[in-house]
Structure 1
Amino acid sequence: MPAVSLAPYRRALASRPLRSALVLGALVRGPVFASGVLLTIHTVSTLGRSYTAAGALAAAATVAIAVSGPWRGRLLDRFGLRRVVLPSVLVALACWSVAPFVGYWLLLVLAVVAGLFVIPTFSITRQAVIAAVPENDRRTAISLDSVAVEIAFIVAPALAVWAATQWSTAWVLFATQMLGVAAGLLMWVVDPPLRGEGEARVGSARAPRRSWFRLPFLAVCLAATATTVVLAGSDIAIVAVMRELGSTAQIGLVLAVWGLGSLVGGLLYGALHRSISAFWLLGGLAVATFPMALATSPWGLAGLGFVAGLLCAPTITATVDQASRIVPAEVRGEAMGWHGSFLTTGGALGAPLAGLAIDGRGPSAGFVAVALVGLAVAGLGLTAVHARRYAGGVTVDARRFTRPSGPDGRAR
């Protein structure tokens, strides 16, 4: 088993730009995570619409954000952070100053427009995190970013739901989005570097897309999609199982334990002396998800969820790490945009897939359905890597991510 050490964290956290990037990322992502649940509550409780209507609104906003990722990332590569973030902030200010106080259909239109011009938070943060540390500390830095994402994902929606029970959902939604606008302005002021030392500057000549948007990159993105299929589907399945057990009051606790497992796993993965292929991690995540279908009590489900959670953040971290190394630095913004869109797509697919399985076979089937998807994609990815290695081809996955890293951190 790879050795675990705190030395990588000490080196990474000694970087002031990294600390700044992590804080900025958490501030901007929090309102994004909170808005999803707020839109559902606002649509159902304040606008008096059905859950189907709330789901359609969430789906439309999700699709808009997924579409925006690659082209906003490409603009980052071409024009830099400030010239991309400022229009996003202005559009968000215009849309969300009005959207919480209008009817359903206008809210849907404004949410889609805002989604298309959303601040490319994940692309910016991950580029800033990568640029802030030497290449051999990249995985550790990305792991820290994944942990920050987990914390924001756990805390922000919980605070939003609590606030919505105390005050008008319209004003809570408005306040949340204005916090996002303020965080975007702070990011514009700080303007963290998106390129590391020795890398091509923003706006430099770009590598043609056909030179990097190929099978190795797409395979890693597909692994990212499968990961969020498993996670989003497990989220729905946990709710369904807890309802069947008559323990709806403990749903939040089980989800928190699951998220805690992911946080711990992310920290452990960042402390390893070597990387692990995203396909192996995805396969492990899928295998660890299957036993959750056998849980017969809330505490049993929480324990099994913690074990599966240990592989959540590491799998996503590995896909980010691998994707960032496959592509040239001058196109990293667009590449991270594509990666984010694949993650978003997986999240959008996982919930309905689990829902279909739950409706047809019962709550436990949700875990089985999404775990099978993860296992299938992991198997295909590992088979492809093995086939390319056997054929004698030099591939990113086979040569860079399955061996211990050398002094420069490139040979994995």
Structure 2
Amino acid sequence: MASTVTTEPSKDSSASARPGYGQLLRTRGAWTFLLPGFAARQPFAMLTLSIVLLVQHTTGSYGAAGAAAAVTGVSMALFAPWSGRLADRYGQRAVLVPGVLVHTVSGLALTTLALAHAPLWAVFAAAVPTGASVPQVGPMVRARWGVRLKGSPLMTTAAAFESVTDELTFVFGPLLATALCTAVHPAAGLLTEAALTLLGGLLFAAQRSTQPRVAAAGHARVEHSSALRVPGVRVLIVTFLGIGSVFGGMQVSLAAFTESIGEPGLNGVLYGTFAAGNMLSGLVCGAVAWKAAPQRRLVVAYAALALVASGLWAAHSVLVLAGLGLLVGMCIAPALITGYTLVEGLVPAGARTEAFTWLTGAVALGQAAAVTIAGQLEDRLWGGSGFLVPMGGTVLALVTLLALRPRLATRPRERTVARGVGHRVPVTVD
């Protein structure tokens, strides 16, 4: 183990002073999981919006559509950490293959029931396994980066790169889902999502050489202790719940807004603008050699997010909403990147996939609650009232983050695994 730690940083020594994307993408074996990983995570950006558009078409209610999407999101949030923990224990392939098969079948069942105008409870019943079986490709890719970049300052760059990749999918995903659902057929988005999940998931699972090694049986009890026991992870979960409220609140509210002005096709454009802001700021974050402590960066980024999100409800034109959406996206990326980066210093390697899935699940849970509440607000109150949800979610999460910020500090006992947090050396003044 020690020999591996010393050789990897020396190999990336050129990047130590100035980490960058070029150096990151030259990491040995990276492209073998990056390309199939991108294909496998693309459907995640399509799922919720495809369900909203399909169910709203068949029921005529944004409240019902939001509730169906919420059931999917809650199911994913509840099952994602268990999926991550199983992947840490038994290997990613063992979890991915059955997962993508179940997801494909469940998505097809949900589509059939919705088109058949089945009772809403039946649609909800199909939404449970659809959400529970969403492949956690993003956390799995992040875990693979952790294996490749032990002790390297490129870990912050990798976290930024993954955030940019996630947001790139949220640029194309909503556009594709909206185009398919409005120009082809209301069910086309969900059917395409199921097909891409099956193909991309199986291709990613086939890349065995880059997946993290499964701990030996003798180390299982130590390596696989739950990441949820770490206080800092619980703080980050609350923080990511607030970020999820932004995603969910904007999905429903933007769809309702564009429908109200008679331009439903603009929904994907506006949401894509929001995601583009996230992607662009993520690129900048990964290219900067930060000197400020990650805890401080998280607080500053989150305060900016809460401030900008608080103005969404007052926007009443496409241009103003696009501009605010762009700013909101630009504030989300630094918070996401810093949160994922903090995980490496808080959680032992054997529980990192689980920790990443807790955060991903928190975003999904926040998104699920947000689409439900925003849908009800749009149905019962004035147009644009759903934008109150991102404001409320981020403000509450910011208060929690400020109160519990000390729990995000890396514990002294983790100095023995400092190789996993090489980019924080200037902060810990060793």
TM-score bracket for the superposition, by shorter chain length: 0.7 to 0.9
Which residue of the partner structure matches residue 45 of structure 2?
A: 33
Report the alpha carbon displacement of residue 195 of structure 1 after superposing the two structures with TM. Answer: 3.5
Aligned to 2:363: 343
Name the structure 2 match of 1:391.
Answer: none
- 1:229–1:349 Cα contact (<8 Å) kept: yes
Q: Aligned-pair distance for 1:383?
A: 3.5
Q: What percentage of residue pairs aligned between the two structures are identical?
A: 24
Residue of 68, 75, 82 corresponding to 1:71? 82
Give yes or no for the alignment of 1:42 onto 2:57: no
Cα drift, residue 367 of structure 1: 4.4
Q: More displaced, 128-137 or 240-249?
A: 240-249
User: In 2, distance between residues paired with 1:93 and 1:307?
Assistant: 35
Rate the CA distance shift 1:212–1:284 in 2: closer, same or farther, 3 A: same
Cα distance in structure 1, aligned partners of 2:260 and 2:59: 27
- Secondary structure (helix, strand or coil) at the match of 2:135 reads coil
- Find the residue that maps to 1:190 and give its secondary structure: coil
Cross-structure match for 2:318: 298
Contact 1:77–1:202, Cα closer than 8 Å, also in 2 = no
Tell me: CA distance 1:398–1:306, structure 2 relative to 1, closer, same or farther (3 Å): farther
1:288–1:308 Cα contact (<8 Å) kept: yes
**Does 2:117 correspond to 1:117?**
no
The amino acid that maps onto 1:338 is W
- Is the contact made by 2:62 and 2:378 (CA closer than 8 Å) also made in structure 1? no
1:263 Cα shift? 1.1
Cα drift, residue 186 of structure 1: 0.5
Q: Decide which of 80, 91, 104 is 2:91's aligned counterpart.
A: 80
Alignment of 1:127-206 (within 5 A): 127-134=143-150, 135-170=152-187, 173-191=190-208, 193-195=210-212, 201=215, 204-206=219-221
* 2:283 maps to amino acid: L
Q: What amino acid is the match of 1:304?
A: L
TM-score, structure 2 as length reference: 0.78
- 1:227 matched to 2:243: yes
Of the structure 1 ranges 236-245 and 64-73, higher mean CA displacement relative to structure 2 is found in 236-245
The aligned residue for residue 17 of structure 1 is 29
Structure 1 unaligned spans of 5+: 389-393
Contact 2:70-2:371 within 8 A present in 1 as well: no
Letter in 1 for 2:154: D
Change (3 A) 1:34 1:202: farther
Residue 67 and residue 290 in structure 1: after superposition, are their counterparts in 2 closer, same or farther (change >3 A)? Answer: closer
Q: Is the 8 A contact 1:154 1:256 kept in 2?
A: yes
* Residue 395 of structure 1 pairs with residue 421 of structure 2: no
Aligned-residue CA RMSD in angstroms? 3.6
Aligned AA for 1:183? G
Q: Counterparts of 1:211 and 1:94 in 2: how far apart (Å)?
A: 31
Structure 2 counterpart of 1:263: 279
Cα distance in 1 for partners of 2:265, 2:28 equals 42
1:187 to partner: Cα distance: 1.2
TM-superposed CA distance for 1:344, in Å, is 0.9
1:286, CA displacement in angstroms? 0.8
Where does the alignment leave 5 or more consecutive residues of structure 2 unmatched? 1-16
C-alpha spacing 1:287/1:42, structure 2 compared with 1 (3 Å): closer
1:136-193 CA-to-partner distances (Å, cap 9, x unmatched) read 2112112111111112122123223323345455566434312211111111211353
CA distance in 2, matches of 1:369, 1:98: 30
Do the aligned residues in 2 keep the contact of 1:217 with 1:323 (CA within 8 Å)?
yes
Q: Does residue 310 in structure 1 map to residue 325 in structure 2?
A: no
Alpha-carbon distance change, 375 to 399 in structure 1, aligned in 2, over 3 angstroms: farther
Deviation at 1:291, TM superposition (A): 3.6
Change (3 A) 1:83 1:154: same
Contact 1:21 1:129 in 2 (8 A): no
Q: Are 2:66 and 2:371, in contact at CA under 8 Å, matched by a contact in 1?
A: no
Q: Is the 8 A contact 1:18 1:141 kept in 2?
A: no
Q: Between Structure 1 and Structure 2, how many residues are aligned? A: 394
Q: Aligned to 2:422, which of 404, 408, 412?
A: 408
